[in-house]
Structure 1
Amino acid sequence: MTEYDDIDFALLRALQVDATQSAGALGRIVGLSQPATWRRVKRLQSAGVVKKRRLHLDAEAVGFGVTVFLGVKLATKGRVSLEDFERAVSAIPEVQRVEHVLGLYDYRLRVVARDLPDFERVLRRRIMTLPGAGEVEANVLLSEERLPGPL
């Protein structure tokens, strides 16, 4: 395991706040030159600590006003591979997150839709037709009080 120092952790915190910052801007935050900062960021990426930089959109502002969390229990364990289900569900653009979980359901999905009729269409035509899809429980997001933050 690679050892990380206080400067590495300061870089990670700064990147979590705004991943678009240049190496020069990050260097000013952590007290390093631009080349030294760039090398550290590259090392963190190579080590797999920084997987990717993402843009976070406001789903409602771009027309997706409904978010639903689905618990999905596979109907035929053993007859459908988990990989087949994961590959098929990941191909649905409205499914934003796929989590294989332990508990009452086999998977937890985060699904966005324009409105409830649009969600019903996605559920009936896309999700319920997936290989192995069985019991489903839906929970509609009413509000999100805390967005994912720094680790």
Structure 2
Amino acid sequence: MVLVYECYHTGIQLLETLRIEQSGVPIYIQIRDQVLRAIGAGTIKPGERMPTMRQVAVALRIDLNTVRHAYDALARTGVITIQPARGTFVAQKPPLDDLSTQVERLNDLAHRTIASARSNGLNPIEVAQRIIAIEQEKDTRK
């Protein structure tokens, strides 16, 4: 029973953090990026249940297909697993890719991060330095 509560609680915790901004960024990308941030920050951990697509759609007052698009994008990259009739879960570990695929994904992420930083009026180099600092802080807490 505790496991069910924890899964439910995790989903609610994530739902409370999701926000839609009128920034011109497509809503499904905003959801995808916020879920990625929550996973990166440890708000939701590998193996934990995600809120259902319907819960997200209702909470954000958006179309269910928009949420489905975000979840599908996350599933394609291996961040989450969608298990029919069981739910959606944060992936236990990232999928193994060949070196060229890893480089392509890394470059894609770097370009998106640079674009996001600039669109928010931030210096991409300072963002990179902050990423390093956050990761080093996580390593010292372990």
TM-score range, shorter chain: under 0.3
Q: Which has the higher contact order (CA 8 A, sep 6+)?
A: 1
TM-score (normalizing by structure 2): 0.27
Please tell me whether Structure 1 or Structure 2 has the larger radius of gyration of its CA atoms.
Answer: 1
